[in-house]
Structure 1
Amino acid sequence: MGKTTGFLEFERREGESEKPLDRLKHWNEFNSLLSKGEQENQGARCMDCGVPFCQSGIMINGMASGCPINNLIPEWNDLIYRGKWKLALSRLLKTNNFPEFTGRVCPAPCESACTVGINAPSVTIKENEKSIIDRGFEEGLIKANPPTNRTGKKVAVIGSGPSGLAAADSLNKNGHLVTVFERDDRIGGLLMYGIPNMKLDKRVIDRRVNLLKEEGIEFAINTNVGKNYPVRKVLTDYDAVVLATGSSKPRDLKEEGREIKGIYYAVDFLKANTKSLLDSNFQDKKYIDVKDKKVIIIGGGDTGTDCVATSLRHGATSIMQLEIMDEMPNERALNNPWPQWARISKTDYGQKEFIELNGEDPRKYCKSVKKFIGDSEGNLKAVVTVNMEWRSDDTGRFTCTEVEGSEKTVEADIVLLAMGFIGTEDYIKDAFEVHLDNRGNIIGEYGDFRTNREKIFTAGDARRGQSLVVWAINEGRAVADVVNNYLEENKEVPNK
């Protein structure tokens, strides 16, 4: 806990954000930290609540309540309140391999479960976390710490997203020789190419990867196991394999006219944008240019928000974001009590920027697209939208149907499909000969993580489906423990 009466004495405060119209001029992060003294006051708001649901990491009604990696939140809140930042850092790193990632992109289920949040704004847990780790780097407290002893056992981690990196880091700390295989030209998976730079500066990822390299982890980029690198060689050369390839098959919208030019998956749009930014500051022109274009984004989640913010920075003429779901309430509904994840309306950075620029929200709720219309040359020129209605049946299950007569034709030059992901790509399943469940995810029970193939394990979105970065880290750490036990049990068994 923090100060006994801190939650009564101090109001919630967060670091300042650069004004929307100013930050639209660049691609850098735009949130700053509070002063050390003010951050200590925020730590003081952590109350002696008895049962800290913030660190519980349990599932209630299919939603995470509290931190999935069980961060020791009351402990480090108390430590920063007392000015013991170095000790707070050690407690933070006890449970989280990469707080600099989660402190930027995690939606903070911990704050939804904060006891203070029942009657007042919750503790700034996410920002406290970011402050601890960023100050740790700034003050030189975080240094490479390679293992002193090596087991001689070799582990291949396929995929360098948060789950793969967490698994590699944990296995390396146990003394195993770890190689991370990444099909792209940079390490980080969707952290690198699925999240815009202004939300997660790529230097933050590179800084951590360089530390992992210093600690002995090897990285093989541009290496797509199952395509340009044989699975047979991986199975021969390594004692264990972790498939952390993510849920990278984007959900499609197969309506009439889908073949028309100008319709892209959001992940391809965001990846091309970040790669061009990092490679040449956009001078190579190898990105999907939406300048002076009418953009429609289908999907209302974080990826849709990132598409709004990216399109704004490139100078799109108009942006409309379609959300098939109804708008969330401003406050918790009666059937969504604390400490559940709060299903309330959220206006994220991209929408805030659009509102500041245009005076209205880009989101249109309960809408979808039922037809794409092209010109004589096969280029997109319009979409037909339709209103959607949600109704519950006798069992209480909600279904969505089109509202008859609600069709509307809207001009569009570019459509971005930001509707999430639906499982592991087929070539991974075929190359490794692993079984998938009915959602397209690699089968490997949580806590065991073994696939149907000997010495092949799976974790993260590849196993559980599209999820949060913090869940990916959870599974990366957990699969590392299982693989470590497996290697201990098979100490004398040579590679086959």
Structure 2
Amino acid sequence: MGKPTGFLEYQRELPADRAPLERIKDWREFHLHLDEKSSREQGARCMECGIPFCQTGKVLPGGASGCPVHNLIPEWNDMIFRGLWKEAFERLRMTNNFPEFTGRVCPAPCEGSCTLGISEPPVTIKLNEVSIIDKAFEEGWVKPEVPAERTGKKVAVVGSGPAGMACADQLNKAGHEVTVYERADRIGGLLMYGIPNMKLDKQEIVQRRVDLMATEGVTFVTGVEVGKDIPAEQLRNDFDAVVLCAGATQPRDLPVEGRGLKGVHFAMEFLTANTKSLLDSNLEDGNYISAAGKNVIVIGGGDTGTDCVGTSVRHGCKSVKQLEIMPRLPDSRAPSNPWPEWPAVFKIDYGQEEAAAVFGRDPRDYLISTKKIVGDENGNIKEIHIVGVRWQRDGSGRMNLIEVEGTDEVLPADLVLLAMGFTGPEKTLIDALKLDTDPRGNVQAEYGKYATNLPGVFAAGDMRRGQSLVVWAINEGREAARECDRFLMGKTFLP
């Protein structure tokens, strides 16, 4: 806990972000930090609640509840309040390999299950976390830790997203020789190319951690797709164990007339190319999909859709609309969404805030379905046809989508970005190894054990569980490393 009466004395306070009209002029991170006094006051708000639901890490019907990596949240909140920053860092790194990532991009299910949040705004857990790790880097407390002894065992990790990086980090700590294979030209997976730079700086934050892990002994191999550039079976022959962390990168498509027209792209095509060009040349090479001067339609209401909005605004789009097929969320918890479930409530994220600052309104329209996309004589899109919908439950209890008569509309469109989530992992590697899959197409491996149908082959992260959060990927990467270590050594000391 923090100060016994802190939650009564101090209100929840977050640092002001950089102003929208200022930050859209660049690609730098827009979140700021609190000063020392304010940070300690926010740590003081952590109350002696008896049972810290914030660190439970459970999956409830309404979504994740509490921290999936089981961060020792009350302990380091108390240390922040007392000014014991180095001790707070030591506690934080016990459970989370990459708090500089989660402290920036995690939606904070821990705050959704904060006991104080039952009646007051919850503790600023996410802010406190990133404040600790950023201070630790600034003070030089984060140092390479090369294992004192090596086991002689070799492990291949396929995929360098948060699950793969966490798994590799843990296995390296156990003394194994770890090689991480990544098909892209940079390490990080969605951390590098799936999340825009203004949310998570690639050079100062992501690459810094990659360099640290390389110094500690992890070998990174880029530009190699296992199952295509090298046979998947070769890894089984060359390594003592293999952990598959290739993500759930198969995007959900939009099967409507006009889908094949020029100017319709998956969101990840748009975001990945933009970040790569930004890192390669500060966008000077032109090797990206530009929204400059275009009417942009983003289909999908999640974080990826928000990232498409924020990126389009920075390009200088003519207009931007974000279409959601679901209804607008309520302003406060619905009776069917009680604490400590993740609060499904309305929020304005950075992309919508920026679009509103430029165009005068939130770009989102709700309960909208796309009927078709229409192009010109050259095969370029020029408009999108939409209709209002409502959800209706049938006699069996199933929800069906019903078009609302008289709500048809035509929107001008030069660029359509599909941000409707992902359907599961790509099949190349799965088919090459003849891995068993679950009904959703994910690799079949029991949670907590992570073993596939092939001896010595493990699976973790989105490739095993489907599209999820960065913090769940870290959880699975850590736990898969533990089970892989147990397989190799007969026992394990990994948490």
> What is the TM-score normalised by the length of structure 2?
0.98
Q: Which segment drifts farther, 420-429 or 324-333? A: 420-429
CA contact (8 A) 2:62 2:342 kept: no
Instruction: Please report how far the alpha carbon of residue 62 of structure 1 lies from its aligned counterpart in structure 2 after TM superposition.
Output: 4.7
Residue 311 of structure 2 corresponds to residue 310 of structure 1: yes
Give matches, 1:161-310, under 5 Å.
161-203=161-203, 204-310=205-311
Instruction: Please report how far the alpha carbon of residue 322 of structure 1 lies from its aligned counterpart in structure 2 after TM superposition.
Output: 0.2
Superimposed CA distance per residue, residues 451-491 of structure 1 (whole angstroms, 9 cap, x where no aligned partner): 11121110000000000000000000000010000001399
Residue 42 of structure 2 corresponds to residue 39 of structure 1: no
Which structure 1 segments of 5+ residues have no match? Answer: 492-496
CA contact (8 A) 1:163 1:476 kept: yes
Instruction: Please report how far the alpha carbon of residue 257 of structure 1 lies from its aligned counterpart in structure 2 after TM superposition.
Output: 1.2
Distance 1:115 1:393 in 2: 37
Distance 2:115 2:387 in 1: 41
CA contact (8 A) 1:114 1:339 kept: yes
Distance 1:490 1:332 in 2: 45
Give matches, 1:130-149, under 5 Å.
130-149=130-149
Instruction: Please report how far the alpha carbon of residue 395 of structure 1 lies from its aligned counterpart in structure 2 after TM superposition.
Output: 4.7
TM-aligned CA distance change 1:62 to 1:120, over 3 Å: closer
Instruction: Please report how far the alpha carbon of residue 329 of structure 1 lies from its aligned counterpart in structure 2 after TM superposition.
Output: 0.4
Distance 2:291 2:337 in 1: 39
Distance 2:217 2:329 in 1: 47
CA contact (8 A) 2:232 2:429 kept: no
Instruction: Please report how far the alpha carbon of residue 407 of structure 1 lies from its aligned counterpart in structure 2 after TM superposition.
Output: 1.9
1:97 corresponds in structure 2 to: 97
Distance 2:380 2:179 in 1: 44
Instruction: Please report how far the alpha carbon of residue 15 of structure 1 lies from its aligned counterpart in structure 2 after TM superposition.
Output: 1.7
**Partner letter of residue 207 of structure 1?**
R
Q: Which segment drifts farther, 9-18 or 455-464? A: 9-18
Distance 1:434 1:449 in 2: 13
1:494 corresponds in structure 2 to: none
SS at 1:8 equivalent: helix
CA contact (8 A) 1:298 1:368 kept: no
1:69 corresponds in structure 2 to: 69
Distance 2:234 2:437 in 1: 23
SS at 1:422 equivalent: strand
Superimposed CA distance per residue, residues 420-452 of structure 1 (whole angstroms, 9 cap, x where no aligned partner): 011111212122221222212111111111111
Superimposed CA distance per residue, residues 108-127 of structure 1 (whole angstroms, 9 cap, x where no aligned partner): 01111111111111100000
Instruction: Please report how far the alpha carbon of residue 89 of structure 1 lies from its aligned counterpart in structure 2 after TM superposition.
Output: 0.3
Residue 487 of structure 2 corresponds to residue 479 of structure 1: no
Q: Which segment drifts farther, 351-360 or 261-270? A: 351-360
Instruction: Please report how far the alpha carbon of residue 404 of structure 1 lies from its aligned counterpart in structure 2 after TM superposition.
Output: 3.4
CA contact (8 A) 1:295 1:413 kept: yes
Q: Please report the RMSD computed on the Cα atoms of aligned residues, expressed in angstroms.
A: 1.2
**Partner letter of residue 443 of structure 2?**
I
Distance 1:421 1:451 in 2: 22
Distance 1:319 1:26 in 2: 18
Instruction: Please report how far the alpha carbon of residue 250 of structure 1 lies from its aligned counterpart in structure 2 after TM superposition.
Output: 0.4
Instruction: Please report how far the alpha carbon of residue 396 of structure 1 lies from its aligned counterpart in structure 2 after TM superposition.
Output: 4.0
SS at 1:34 equivalent: coil
Instruction: Please report how far the alpha carbon of residue 147 of structure 1 lies from its aligned counterpart in structure 2 after TM superposition.
Output: 0.6
Instruction: Please report how far the alpha carbon of residue 406 of structure 1 lies from its aligned counterpart in structure 2 after TM superposition.
Output: 2.4
**Partner letter of residue 205 of structure 1?**
V
Distance 2:392 2:332 in 1: 22
2:405 corresponds in structure 1 to: 404
TM-aligned CA distance change 1:62 to 1:117, over 3 Å: closer
SS at 1:438 equivalent: coil
Distance 1:331 1:37 in 2: 30
CA contact (8 A) 2:485 2:491 kept: no
Instruction: Please report how far the alpha carbon of residue 330 of structure 1 lies from its aligned counterpart in structure 2 after TM superposition.
Output: 0.3
> What is the TM-score normalised by the length of structure 1?
0.97
1:418 corresponds in structure 2 to: 419
Distance 1:447 1:115 in 2: 27
CA contact (8 A) 2:66 2:113 kept: yes
Give matches, 1:340-351, under 5 Å.
340-351=341-352
1:156 corresponds in structure 2 to: 156
Superimposed CA distance per residue, residues 293-323 of structure 1 (whole angstroms, 9 cap, x where no aligned partner): 1100000000000000000000100101000
Distance 2:260 2:398 in 1: 33
Distance 1:147 1:393 in 2: 60
Instruction: Please report how far the alpha carbon of residue 289 of structure 1 lies from its aligned counterpart in structure 2 after TM superposition.
Output: 1.0
Distance 2:482 2:252 in 1: 32
SS at 2:30 equivalent: coil
2:125 corresponds in structure 1 to: 125
CA contact (8 A) 2:267 2:304 kept: yes
**Partner letter of residue 57 of structure 1?**
G
1:19 corresponds in structure 2 to: 19
Identity of counterpart residues, as a percentage? 57
Instruction: Please report how far the alpha carbon of residue 357 of structure 1 lies from its aligned counterpart in structure 2 after TM superposition.
Output: 1.6
Instruction: Please report how far the alpha carbon of residue 418 of structure 1 lies from its aligned counterpart in structure 2 after TM superposition.
Output: 0.1
Distance 1:236 1:335 in 2: 51
Superimposed CA distance per residue, residues 92-135 of structure 1 (whole angstroms, 9 cap, x where no aligned partner): 00100000000000000111111111111110000000000000
